[in-house]
Amino acid sequence: MMDTKSKTDRTNMPAESANKSGRPYVLPYMQNRELSWLEFNKRVLDQGEDHNVPLLERLTRVSIFSSNLQEFFMVRVGSLTDLSLVNKELRDNKTQMTPDEQLRAIYDRCHELYPEQERIYRQIQEKLAERGIRQLMEDELNKEQAAYLREYLNAQVVPYLSPQIINSRHPFPHLENGALYVLLRLDEENAPEKTKGSDKKKEKNLGAEDATFGLVPLPRQAKRVIPLPGEGTQFILLENALKTIVGDVFSMYTTKRASVICVTRNADIDPNDYGTEDMDYDYREHMKRILKKRARLAPVRLETDTPLSPVTKKFLLKRLGLKMHQVYVTSVPLDMGYAWGLDGMVKPELARKLTPEPFTPTWPACLDRKRSIIEQVCEKDVLLMYPYESMDPFVNMLREAANDPSVISIKITLYRLASQSHLAEALLAAAENGKEVTALFELRARFDESNNIEWSQRFEQAGANVIYGFHDFKVHSKICAITRHTDKGIQHITQLGTGNYNEKTSKLYTDFSFITTNESIGKDAAEFFRNMQLENASDRYQTLSVAPLQIKPMILAKIDEQIELARAGKPNGLMFKTNSVTDKDIIDKIAEASQAGVHATLFVRGISCLVPGVEGYTDNVKVVSIVGRLLEHSRIYGFGPRDNREIYLSSADLMTRNMEKRVEIAWPIINPELKEKVNEYLDTSLSDTAKLRMLKSDLSYTPLEFFATEGPDGIPESFDSQEYLIKKAREDYLHSLEVREEQAALRSATARVQRIRDREMKESPVTPLVENPETGEPLTSAQTTVPEADESLQETATNEQVTLEILAEETPLQETAAEISTDTSAQASVAQAAEPGAEVNAETTDTTIDTTAQVNSASATGGIEEIEPGVAGPSAMTSASAPADTSVSSGVPAASTEADPAQTQMPSVQTATPEVEVLSGEQKATDAGVIQLVPKKPSLWTRIKFLFTGKLS
């Protein structure tokens, strides 16, 4: 074992000189990208045997495994096949494997994965059968089902069949990529006399090497799943059903065993490989011709549902140009797409038990759906988290922009669109309304080329400016720029995303969507679209980092900063969330950071060419992955420790193609609140104990279920981060509704109080004369106006609901009426302090008490005193020796008993005669007289303060 220093030196050595044998040295912390991808797909397959996943959902995981593998063979295996024909010695820069070596490793690994798929599929079928859901094979039908099926096929399927004979007169046909066929061997020797031919020597069979075959393509017009009569839910797949009637189809032959076959073809086409550089051509028409070529590219895989006879296998391999290791035999249906509609065939109550709880993205809590989205994003930056939060606000914003007179232009990059897109319709409406709409379509978005071609034509017809980006780079960035003319000048609204503008995938993929009016970002966005129209790969952006020139250097420089911090003994860290990590320069830099003591966490859904935990290289690197209900798709770059992390969001994975061969955008998150939202998302994801897997140095992925907490019944309870975030988004939205309802009630109550105040001011235009206690001069009306409630009281309101209930009654409180003794010498008007909240002398004040709430006594000048419900106040008993002209403790003189009549319009508190005990809500007679307690209307100041504090004090 070499020491760390020698390993570090070797890491930095050129690969060509690291091995004297001539074969470049393979660094131990890197693995081949293709083999890493196959392990990712294995994690998808593993979900099929996860008992925490509903049964029908487990079946769809097997379907996803199959469709993923189909695309992998079409693209990656197809590309390597082409490379093996062009340059056999071209080597992978991480593992130094040639194309042929990689291909053989891929085929061998897939021969290990197919049996795993069969095993898991059989388990699911057995569990479904226990629930009354059975997929039957052709030899499992009872008489009733066989009779029903024959009648069904003759009526619904046979009219669409196009059977073919392959023999000397009918050469081998073209087998479409991914299509299913029923293939069977036909015996001409046992055929009826009319088909045996003449006694002449048979002509050489040019198509089948002295063998005859029958071929029946599955008709596209027929249903794939055929329900059958019987208990529960029983069905048969179309390809298996056809096996029951092929004898009738080829009735002139003796038929032998039939098999279902499927051919996978190379689909990795490069539009630039067809000599277009010096041609004057319509790029859209050129792409249409390229797509036609894809359908006829070379086969790379053959699948069959039963073992083929030696004759049939030899025949197919020769005609398809394949070898034995490229043939896969599996009992799993060759097209698993049927699994997605199976829940519609079972009873609803059973389907609910066998599928996940329905999930609809929630309206984001940060936005009020009753208000203009444009207005709200002008007030604050917005960060949406798909699919937990809905894409609808962004679509609504585009709809607003389409009809907003202040909007000048809308510019957007479109990589993948839904076939039925509300977003696209909003952009078309904007163009038809006269807005300047620029749409950059990437016609080379793999497998979405046709859809993008159709949409680009519609955009042109609507009057939009359609561009196609660079000749040499795919435009993979997700950016939308809205330009408005406001009273303050030109305003830019910019949206940046980590995922596509596709409403369908936005409900399945986790992504971030950032909307801002930041001027620097807005200017960069405007510059970006100018550069796209000029095919200028500029690096002159102030805030945005744009590939192919800026993102990779930015990442490497930021990692260097963390290395320097680590060497200085300061807090540091790296966090990357991405779909794949393949770029060798970035992997080397992360390994260097690890050796310097930087702790790095890589949250990688798919390919990780970086191997963590390799002693002396990646000791401080952790690689984790989540494969769950939703597809983890967002890209996050984090530099620094968690609480001081610099965060970038991006459309780019850490792959060489994204860093160097595509137009991508990364942007910083500056707002502390939004930055914390990203950090909390990462914290939640990395706390997962249900779906999180950790990559080990031996290239295996280990589940973290042993971290699950023990539930009340003693059974471990795992934590599913995605399910948690789904629920949290709903709860946040419901809480935001409550808050907005309370705020609306508060605004309504405030307006009602204002109306009451305005009415009282109108009814009482004469201001009572009040003297200044210090100067003796009359106070002006402005000086005696009831003060407004300050903002702090509004912000700390805790009892708005009580306020609403009180004010919603729409009935004014009863005016205070006091029946007092005829002994006028005992009457005295008590005035409280002019400033609210001044304490009243307990010896000189009587009050009335409301037994149902805290009610305050108010003097002629608006003073208040707080008294607890049902308890006599400190002034309940008055002293017999108290003089009539008492004053408040603050030193303000009591009002004269001979006050101006105008003063009687203000609420007042009258003192009782000596020896009178005041009781709440009842009368009490004494020798001195009677006081009748009546509900009393609080002062305007008291009501306003109650509105914001919940207290009548």
Mean per-residue pLDDT for 266-272? 66
Does the active-site annotation cover 476?
yes
Q: How far is residue 339 from each of residues 107, 116, 270, 473, 878, measured CA to CA in Å?
A: 26, 18, 33, 37, 87
Q: What is the distance of C-alpha 212 from the center of its chain?
A: 54
Mean per-residue pLDDT for 272-293? 48
Domain residue spans in the chain?
27-130+336-358, 138-196+203-271+280-322, 373-534, 545-709, 812-953
Residue range 804-863, pLDDT digits in tens: 444 444 333 333 333 333 333 333 333 333 333 434 333 333 433 333 333 333 333 333
Confidence of residue 83 (pLDDT cuts 50, 70, 90): confident
> What single letter denotes the amino acid at residue 611?
V
Contact 913, 826 (CB under 8 A): yes
Higher pLDDT, residue 909 or 334 = 334
Place of tokens 């698993």: 336
Higher pLDDT, residue 190 or 807 = 190
Contact 546, 498 (CB under 8 A): no
Residue range 52-80, pLDDT digits in tens: 999 999 999 999 999 999 999 999 999 89
**d(C-alpha 323, C-alpha 320), whole Å:** 9
Long-range Cβ pairs for the range 146-152 (8 Å, 24+): 146/244, 148/228, 148/229, 149/226, 149/228, 149/236, 149/241, 149/244, 150/244, 150/245, 152/226
Residue range 697-711, pLDDT digits in tens: 999 999 886 565 666
Mean per-residue pLDDT for 106-118? 98
CA 560-565-568 angle, 5° bins: 130
Task: Domain 27-130+336-358: give its CATH code.
Answer: 1.20.58.310
CATH topology of domain 545-709: Endonuclease; Chain A (3.30.870)
Q: What is the distance of C-alpha 701 from the center of its chain?
A: 25
**d(C-alpha 695, C-alpha 604), whole Å:** 10
Residues near 88 by Cβ (< 8 Å), separated by ≥ 6? Answer: 98, 99, 100
**d(C-alpha 622, C-alpha 620), whole Å:** 7
The two three-digit tokens of residue 952, written as one number: 């009548």
Per CATH, 373-534 and 545-709 having the same topology is answered yes
Q: Give the side-chain half-sphere CA count within 13 A for 57.
A: 16
CATH class of residue range 138-196+203-271+280-322: alpha beta
Assess whether pLDDT exceeds 80 at residue 725.
yes
pLDDT at 701: 95
Mean pLDDT over each residue of the chain, to the nearest integer: 80
Which element (helix H / strand E) includes 134? Answer: strand 133-135
Per-position b or e across 729-754, b if 16+ CB within 10 A of its CB? bbebbeebeeeeeeeebbeebbebbe
Q: Which CATH number fits the domain 373-534, given the four candidates 3.30.870.10, 3.30.43.10, 3.40.50.620, 3.30.360.10?
A: 3.30.870.10
> What single letter denotes the amino acid at residue 559?
I
Q: What is the DSSP string of 612-652?
A: TT-TTTSTTEEEEEE-SSSEE--EEEEES-GGG-EEEEES-
pLDDT at 257: 86
Per-position b or e across 503-519, b if 16+ CB within 10 A of its CB? bebbeebbbbbbbbbbe
- Per the confidence metrics, is the pTM higher than 0.95? no
Residue range 419-453, pLDDT digits in tens: 889 999 999 999 999 999 999 998 775 666 777 78
Mean per-residue pLDDT for 1-13? 36
Dihedral sign from CA coordinates of 736, 737, 738, 743 = positive
Q: How far is residue 681 from each of residues 289, 396, 574, 608, 725, measured CA to CA in Å?
A: 44, 25, 16, 21, 8
Highest mean pLDDT among 660-664, 717-721, 801-805 belongs to 660-664
pLDDT at 513: 98
Mean per-residue pLDDT for 669-694? 97
SS3 215: strand
pLDDT at 443: 76
Q: Which entry of 174, 476, 485, 735 is annotated as an active-site residue? A: 476
By DSSP bridging, strand 133-135 and strand 233-237 are parallel
pLDDT at 810: 39
Residue range 905-935, pLDDT digits in tens: 444 444 443 443 444 444 444 444 444 444 5
